[in-house]
Amino acid sequence: MISIRHRRVRPAAGFSLLECLFAVLIFSVGILALVLLQGRAISQSREAKYRVDASTLASQMLGDMWVSERSATALAARFGSAAAGSGYTAWLTTVSSTLPGVAAYPPSVTVVANGALAGSTVTIDIYWKAPTEKAAAAAHRYTVTTQIT
């Protein structure tokens, strides 16, 4: 008669521990990715706020121009950045208190007469630089050009 010997199979010792370590590693990488994603979302939200603020400030300046003088020379004297008139200096104070880094990059307001056509072309450039950005990073810019007739 042939005897069959049964060998007892030992379970793999430490295999569960290895599985747990890999699960913790994968979970940690996922959590780290979520934290980085949240930081990026906060940064983009802040940048969007600055853009909206710049747009609102430009619209405010254009609104002030629309309700005041209509001649190009009067607009340039009161609101142009080259002349630094009363309208521009008051608006610059508001811009400086709203957007960061404006002192290093002052906004410009250019008023150009349309020649034979009535009215003038107004270009507003607003620059800002977030305090968290590196010094070598370029300033952000918002530009609007419109016709005031």
Residues shown for the chain: 149
pTM of the entire predicted model: 0.73
pLDDT one-digit tens code per residue, 6-55: 777 666 666 788 889 999 999 999 999 999 999 999 988 988 999 999 99
DSSP 28-96: HHHHHHHHHHHHHHHHHHHHHHHHHHHHHHHHHHHHHHHHS--SHHHHHHHH-TTTT-HHHHHHHHHHH
Q: Where are the domains of the chain?
A: 15-148
Q: Give residue 13's pLDDT.
A: 61
